Amino acid sequence: MLKAIHHAAIICSNYAKSKHFYCEILGLQVIAENYREARRSYKLDLALPEGGQIELFSFEGAPARPSLPEAQGLRHLAFVVDSVAAYKDYLITQGVKVEEIRIDEYTGKAFTFFQDPDGLPLELYQA
């Protein structure tokens, strides 16, 4: 039986830029950072507040992936926040473009979207 999502893995195009975004802007804590010489690749394990993780990888020459929310595959990652409006304002002060806040027609909860440095769609969802 599945119990939880353990981690989501993300391949970035610019390791330093993505590490800054996920650690300094989003505030995720580093669990482990390893440079894998054989692959000339970094693997950064980041802790999510509820126990899950994000694995951030750098792979030389990795192809770009369509990131439009309606592309096939993983649509987006969603993060729960106490206040979508307050976190949106914070992201804007950090230079992150954020869409207008919408209300989920089924739950009545506020949500909005923004992107990581590689255009990966990320969502803020009201607690």
Are 84 and 107 in the same domain? yes
Question: Is 80 exceeded by the pLDDT of residue 22?
Answer: yes
Are 47 and 93 in the same domain? no
Model pLDDT, residue 72: 75
In a domain, residue 67? The reply is no
Are 82 and 49 in the same domain? no
Instruction: Output the DSSP codes for the chain.
Output: ------EEEEEES-HHHHHIIIIIIS-PEEEEEEEEGGGTEEEEEEE-TTS-EEEEEE-TTPPP----TTSSS---EEEEES-HHHHHHHHHHTT--BPPPEE-TTT--EEEEEE-TT--EEEEEE-
Model pLDDT, residue 69: 64
Question: Is 90 exceeded by the pLDDT of residue 2?
Answer: no
Residues 55-95 pLDDT 10s: 999 998 888 877 666 777 778 899 999 999 999 999 999 99
The CATH number assigned to the domain holding 105 equals: 3.10.180.10
Q: Mean of the per-residue pLDDT values for the chain?
A: 92
